[in-house]
A = this chain, B = another copy of it.
Amino acid sequence: MILRIDLLQTELPPPTDPDPDGAAAVQELLGGKFGEMSTFMNYTYQSFNFRSRQGARPFYDLVASIAAEEFGHIELVAATINTMLTGVADEGLLAGTLGARIRRSVTRRLGTPLEGVKGVRNTQHYLAPGGAGAMVQDSMGKPWNGDYVFSSGDLIEDLTHNYFLETGARSGKLRVYETTDHPAARALTGYLLVRGGVHQVAYARALEKLTGADLTRLFPSPRIPTEKIPECRPHLDRGEHLKLYRFSPSDFGEVRAVFNGPHPETGEELVVAEEPSPDGAPANDLPPQPGVFAPGPEPEEIAAIAQRLRVAAGLPRRPSGRVA
């Protein structure tokens, strides 16, 4: 089971200009065959289905703890998409039809506050019940599905798969990086490239420990040095490319029996963090988007009800959540 901490694994910038087609591209990193839903679910189900756990404990602990990190990755990608979609639907039907706040665009007419949505690549972000939020889809709007999960039970096959999956995932992140320089997308890909690199190393090292095969000769794969990417630098400077977290209060300690030795590119020593997870950062509290009724056409009414409930329950008057 899990405990959830209401923080992101790294900081994201607040919304600026909306970038719906950029957000559609970032969906590839969420629901694509090589997106974070795939890494999360592959390692999670491999850990669920792991037989003879005690006998193979260091490998179980490796897969199980990386799985836990990946939850944080789907959370980050979703937050990025939400950020990039913010601003297109910030006016709703009543405002558009009856009101007078016609701000942004000459193409926006009375009563069609979503007109700009008509031509975007993923209209379901707005049309199908999508509240200007992340969908469980890839960049073409195709839903992620369970066929993307590989869990053969054979440890060598599974690790080979995972190494290949991380390679495809790295490739996808590089391509999205090349596609949009929206600040949120760049903060996301900079972080994920570093962390995905750690997972590539981890699975290659696990195969090496089991068989002697030296997959690290393939690094980096694809062959773009992470250190050349500016948005990766702060994370490299903090040593995040060398560190595996257990993402657990007290379990998965045997991961250090596999994840050790020199980093294949830099020669620095790999390390398992003492602390269970990185510090994290609070998420931005993204503003309502009345054009898609999120969190409702009248967010103020919901806020007033919430306030009453809070008081009735003996909670402080001010919301207690952590936001940026």
Residues of B within 8 A of A177 (CB): 93, 111
- Check A16 for interface membership: any CB of B closer than 8 A: no
B296 touches A131 (CB 8 A): no
Given A113-B178, A149-B136, A218-B156, do A71 and B2 touch, yes or no (CB 8 Å)? yes
- Check A298 for interface membership: any CB of B closer than 8 A: yes
Interface residues in A72-103 (C-beta closer than 8 Å to B): 72, 74-75, 78-79, 82, 92-94, 96-98
Given A133-B151, A168-B129, A248-B6, do A118 and B285 touch, yes or no (CB 8 Å)? no
What CA separation (Å) do A292 and B223 show in the bound complex?
A: 11
CB distance from A247 to the nearest CB of B (A): 6
- Check A291 for interface membership: any CB of B closer than 8 A: yes
From A161, which residue of chain B is reached at the shortest CB distance?
A: B164
Per-position 1/0 for A105-144, Cβ under 8 A of B? 0000101111101110111101111111111111111111
A51 touches B294 (CB 8 A): yes
B178 touches A294 (CB 8 A): no
Q: Which of B1, B180, B320 contacts A118 (CB 8 A)?
A: B180
A146 touches B147 (CB 8 A): no
What CA separation (Å) do A145 and B50 show in the bound complex?
A: 23
Interface size (A, Cβ < 8 Å)? Answer: 178
Q: Which of B48, B72, B321 contacts A54 (CB 8 A)?
A: B321
- Check A167 for interface membership: any CB of B closer than 8 A: yes
A130 touches B146 (CB 8 A): no
- Check A28 for interface membership: any CB of B closer than 8 A: yes
Given A78-B49, A214-B214, do A55 and B303 touch, yes or no (CB 8 Å)? yes
What CA separation (Å) do A95 and B279 show in the bound complex?
A: 35
Given A146-B135, A248-B3, A302-B155, do A292 and B175 touch, yes or no (CB 8 Å)? yes
From A248, which residue of chain B is reached at the shortest CB distance?
A: B4
A126 touches B175 (CB 8 A): yes
What CA separation (Å) do A184 and B2 show in the bound complex?
A: 22
Residues of B within 8 A of A109 (CB): 181
What CA separation (Å) do A247 and B5 show in the bound complex?
A: 9
Subset of 14 A-B contacts with CB under 8 Å: A1-B278, A45-B134, A48-B79, A49-B133, A52-B299, A58-B306, A112-B179, A118-B180, A145-B145, A152-B293, A152-B294, A222-B293, A251-B321, A251-B322
Q: Top 9 closest A-B pairs, CB basis?
A: A131-B153, A136-B146, A153-B294, A49-B133, A143-B146, A129-B152, A213-B217, A1-B72, A55-B303
